[in-house]
């Protein structure tokens, strides 16, 4: 991973996908995916995604 513990470059993610997904699922971490140092996406635990996608009400 990069020097920031919650970030991983696209290149590194390709090599460490299984471990990264396990880290998110088991430890509940949010991992930001970077490309040329810019955050382009986030991998989040399912409960976080479900909370974000809940309909209002």
pLDDT value of residue 54: 84
pLDDT value of residue 56: 76
pLDDT value of residue 36: 97
Secondary structure of residue 34 in the 3-state scheme? strand
pLDDT value of residue 4: 59
Which domains can be identified in the chain, with CATH numbers? 7-52 (3.40.1620)
pLDDT value of residue 1: 47
pLDDT averaged per 10 residues, the chain (length 57): 76 97 95 97 95 82
Give dist(CA 33, CA 31) in Å, integer. 6
């Amino acid at each position: 991973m990069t020097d920031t513990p919650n970030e991983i470059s696209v290149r590194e993610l390709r090599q460490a996908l299984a471990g990264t997904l396990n880290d998110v699922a088991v430890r509940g971490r949010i991992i930001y995916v970077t490309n040329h140092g810019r955050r382009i996406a986030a991998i989040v635990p399912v409960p976080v995604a479900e909370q974000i996608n809940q309909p209002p009400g």
